[in-house]
């Protein structure tokens, strides 16, 4: 049979898997089981809206079989299955989120670090090749009576041929390698080892993962055996369900360890860092639901691009209905990942209808409050942690303030951090206000490219000398933010460029007026020389040791003008 070739990208990933010296090869099982669970989700969902499926939740499951003689491990599911075309396109190309991200990271880091990343991403189906010489996938798609068999022994290609299968679903046979020490000892052929791996990685899978286990029991005493004869043991086989099945978000918070939450997050959302915050919600009332949310510690590589899709996974009584439900998250918290599970949402509802469901609005409003509260908690209890969060997602919070004419400013204001001249570190607006001098009227800010330059701005000298603190704004959106905020705790935000930024005493004012009189000639000369390049030359009230400074005409700084000019028409 003619071999088909893998696409170039897939081949590279595959080769990496085959030659992997990665020590946590065990994650292949998690990947294969999670694919089976995804396939079950798909059919379970279909069965709710389509009577023809003729199956109910309890009929779905995953089975693992070990064959020491043949050195195979087989994972079978009765999920949605794959057609011939799907076998080819799904297993022959890496277009999957997890694998794709993995590949990107792999290309960015130098080769030595690659191996460590393998376990952290959902590397997917190809991870089977870390432990197998040959992988055979036999599948029958729901609604079809044909079955097809995909087979590959590695990077040199795969075959697809017609096959037979009585039931809908997928069977994956992995022929284990023998060439490494670990595999010689048959670690992955040991039922107890496999059982432990399922508990470790796949315990929250909502379908039973069953395996036949060897058991021992005492034999009943045969007739006529002496009372005190040594007991005889017999072995027998029994099918066991290996996972506890209850999703982690359904378990009471008191029974779940922080470590469990963290590893759940990392597996489910393909991050290799612990989350910055974990939020659990258990709500009863108008809408009953459970939510488990995470604030990532760093922004995904595509976070500030159009490609990034916000949203939470939405389950209805444990069945996944939407992978990224955007209605559950406001834009300013779009970095949050997580799961919402509610029995009050009807399953056979269309996506369009779902958007208008009141229940969803109630949940999302509630989650917004919880997220806000959790971020405040982080700010108060773990400042370095919050500052890390801020570096990753602060920009998003600022966009949130600038958006919709400031509709969310009251919610978001006290999450803001700005770099401050005081002690040269981040400050909240409340901290700034609490440190204001008695005679200080305004909250001062200077906007520009970078903090170092702003500190040297001529306009800042007198203010700093008076002991006033200045916020250094370096993001383009910052000036919109201060304009939308307007005031904080009754204190007006004022640019250091503002002519009235520095309060003047009567004497200072008189001195200033005199200066204007005395320098009329000079000012006229400057204006004449520069002509249209400037609007006017004035005596500044803001300067101390510097001779001149440039100021924009109006409330907007030169920096912001530059920004506006850079925008396409
Ligand atoms: P991902 O799970 O991130 O999509 P994988 O590499 O793990 O990527 O799997 C690739 C694709 O192969 C899946 O998206 C799915 O379409 C298909 N697939 C894998 N295993 C199964 C299975 N047991 N049943 C049905 N489809 C499967
Ligand atoms: Mg997968």
Q: Name the residue among 393, 401, 366, 368 with its Cα closest to residue 297.
A: 393
- Per-residue pLDDT averaged across 173-194, rounded? 85
Atom of ligand 1 nearest to the CA of 169: 24
Higher-confidence residue of 225 and 434: namely 434
Is the pLDDT reported for residue 112 higher than 50? no
pLDDT, tens digit, 9 for 90 and up, residues 390-441: 999 999 999 999 998 889 999 999 999 999 988 779 999 999 999 998 888 9
Alpha-carbon distances, residue 507 vs 499, 504, 515 (angstroms): 17, 8, 12
pLDDT, tens digit, 9 for 90 and up, residues 156-172: 899 999 999 999 999 99
Confidence at residue 121, expressed as pLDDT on a 0 to 100 scale: 44
pLDDT, tens digit, 9 for 90 and up, residues 63-86: 999 999 999 999 999 999 999 999
Question: pLDDT averaged over the chain?
Answer: 84
Contacts of 566 (CB under 8 A, 6+ apart): none
- With beta carbons less than 8 A apart as the criterion, state whether 243 and 205 touch: yes
Confidence at residue 553, expressed as pLDDT on a 0 to 100 scale: 67
For residue 118, name the pLDDT band (cuts at 50, 70, 90). very low
- With beta carbons less than 8 A apart as the criterion, state whether 219 and 234 touch: yes
- Per-residue pLDDT averaged across 143-159, rounded? 93
Q: What's the CA-to-centroid distance between 201 and ligand 2, angstroms?
A: 13
Residues whose CB is under 5 A from ligand 2 (ion)?
35, 124
486 carries a ligand binding annotation: no
State what percent of residues in the chain have pLDDT above 70: 86
Closest-CA residue, ligand 1 atom 21, reads 35
- With beta carbons less than 8 A apart as the criterion, state whether 443 and 492 touch: yes
d(CA 450, CA 419): 10
d(CA 131, CA 18): 8
Q: 500 is written with which tokens?
A: 């009235």
Confidence at residue 124, expressed as pLDDT on a 0 to 100 scale: 77
Alpha-carbon distances, residue 315 vs 41, 45, 69 (angstroms): 10, 10, 41
Residue whose tokens read 């612990």: 274
Neighbours of 152 (CB within 10 A): 24
For residue 542, name the pLDDT band (cuts at 50, 70, 90). low
477 carries a ligand binding annotation: no
Bin 428: left if φ > 0, else alpha if -120 < ψ < 50, else beta.
beta
Q: What's the CA-to-centroid distance between 245 and ligand 2, angstroms?
A: 18
Q: Name the residue among 568, 534, 566 with its Cα closest to residue 552.
A: 534
> Helix H segments across 143-209?
181-184, 191-202
d(CA 545, CA 566): 32
pLDDT, tens digit, 9 for 90 and up, residues 185-208: 788 999 999 999 998 878 878 899
Compute the C-alpha angle 131/132/138, nearest 5°.
Answer: 130
Which parts of 364-512 are beta strand (E)? 418-420, 425-427, 442-447, 470-473, 487-488, 491-495
- Per-residue pLDDT averaged across 81-109, rounded? 68
98 carries a ligand binding annotation: yes
82 carries a ligand binding annotation: yes
Is the pLDDT reported for residue 343 higher than 70? yes
- Ligand 1 pocket test target in 13, 36, 44, 90 with most atoms within 8 Å of CB: 90
Q: What's the CA-to-centroid distance between 35 and ligand 1, angstroms?
A: 5
Q: What's the CA-to-centroid distance between 562 and ligand 1, angstroms?
A: 49
CA 106 to chain centre: 18
pLDDT, tens digit, 9 for 90 and up, residues 252-300: 999 999 999 999 999 888 888 999 999 999 999 888 999 999 999 999 8
**Pocket around ligand 1: residues whose beta carbon is below 6 Å from it?**
31, 35-36, 38-39, 77, 79-82, 90-91, 96-99, 122, 124-125, 170
For residue 378, name the pLDDT band (cuts at 50, 70, 90). very high
Confidence at residue 350, expressed as pLDDT on a 0 to 100 scale: 54
Alpha-carbon distances, residue 12 vs 104, 116, 149, 174 (angstroms): 12, 17, 23, 20
d(CA 371, CA 353): 26
- Per-residue pLDDT averaged across 109-137, rounded? 68
For residue 389, what is the DSSP state? H
Ligand closest to Cα of 78 equals: 1
Atom of ligand 1 nearest to the CA of 94: 6
Q: What is the ipTM of this complex?
A: 0.99
């Amino acid at each position: 049979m003619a071999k088909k070739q893998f696409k170039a990208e897939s081949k590279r990933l595959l080769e990496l898997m085959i030659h992997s010296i990665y020590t946590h090869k065990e994650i292949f099982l998690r990947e294969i089981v999670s694919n089976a669970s995804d396939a079950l989700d798909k059919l379970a969902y279909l069965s709710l809206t389509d009577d023809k499926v003729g199956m109910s939740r309890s009929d779905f499951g995953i089975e693992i079989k070990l064959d020491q003689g043949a050195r195979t491990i087989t994972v079978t599911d009765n999920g949605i299955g794959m057609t011939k075309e799907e076998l080819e396109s799904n297993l022959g190309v890496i277009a999957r989120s997890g694998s794709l991200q993995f590949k990107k990271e792999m290309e960015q880091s130098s080769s030595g670090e690659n191996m460590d990343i393998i376990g952290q991403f959902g590397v997917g189906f190809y991870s089977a090749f870390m432990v197998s010489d040959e992988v055979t996938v036999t599948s029958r798609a729901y609604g079809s009576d044909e079955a097809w068999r995909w087979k590959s022994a590695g990077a040199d290609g795969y075959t697809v041929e017609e096959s037979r299968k009585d039931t809908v679903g997928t069977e994956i046979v992995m022929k284990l390698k023998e060439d490494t020490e670990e595999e010689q000892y048959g670690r992955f052929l040991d039922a107890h080892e496999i059982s432990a791996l399922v508990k470790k990685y796949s315990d929250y899978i909502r379908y039973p993962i069953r395996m036949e286990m060897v058991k021992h029991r005492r034999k009943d005493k045969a007739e006529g055996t002496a009372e005190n004869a040594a007991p005889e043991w017999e072995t027998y086989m029994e099918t066991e369900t290996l996972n506890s099945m209850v999703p982690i978000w359904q378990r009471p918070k008191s029974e779940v360890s922080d470590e469990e939450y963290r590893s759940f997050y990392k597996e489910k959302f393909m991050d290799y860092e612990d989350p910055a915050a974990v939020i659990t919600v258990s709500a009863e009332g108008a809408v009953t639901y459970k939510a488990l949310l995470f604030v990532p510690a760093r922004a995904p590589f595509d976070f500030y691009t159009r490609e990034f899709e916000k949203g939470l996974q939405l389950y209805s009584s444990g069945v996944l209905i939407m992978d990224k439900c955007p209605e559950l998250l406001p834009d300013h918290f779009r970095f949050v990942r997580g799961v919402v599970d509610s029995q009050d949402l009807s399953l056979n509802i269309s996506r369009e209808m779902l958007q208008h469901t009141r229940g969803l609005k109630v949940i999302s409003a509630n989650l917004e409050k919880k997220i806000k509260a959790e971020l405040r908690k982080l700010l108060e209890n773990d400042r370095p942690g919050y500052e890390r969060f801020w570096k990753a997602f602060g920009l998003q919070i600022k966009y949130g303030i600038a958006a919709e004419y400031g509709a969310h400013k009251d919610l978001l204001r006290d999450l803001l951090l700005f770099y401050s001249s005081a002690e040269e570190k981040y400050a909240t607006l409340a901290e700034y206000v609490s440190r204001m001098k008695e005679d200080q009227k305004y909250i001062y800010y200077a906007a520009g490219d970078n903090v170092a330059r702003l500190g040297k701005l001529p306009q800042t000298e007198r203010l700093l000398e008076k002991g006033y603190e200045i916020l250094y704004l370096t993001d383009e959106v910052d000036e919109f933010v201060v304009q939308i905020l307007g005031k904080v705790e009754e204190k007006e935000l004022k640019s250091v460029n503002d002519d009235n930024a520095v309060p003047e005493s009567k004497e200072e004012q008189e001195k200033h007026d005199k200066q204007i009189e005395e320098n009329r000639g000079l000012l006229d000369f400057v204006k004449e020389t520069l002509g249209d390049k400037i609007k006017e030359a004035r005596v500044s009230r803001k300067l101390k040791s510097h001779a001149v400074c440039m100021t924009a005409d109006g409330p907007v700084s030169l920096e912001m003008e530059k920004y506006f000019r850079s925008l396409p028409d």
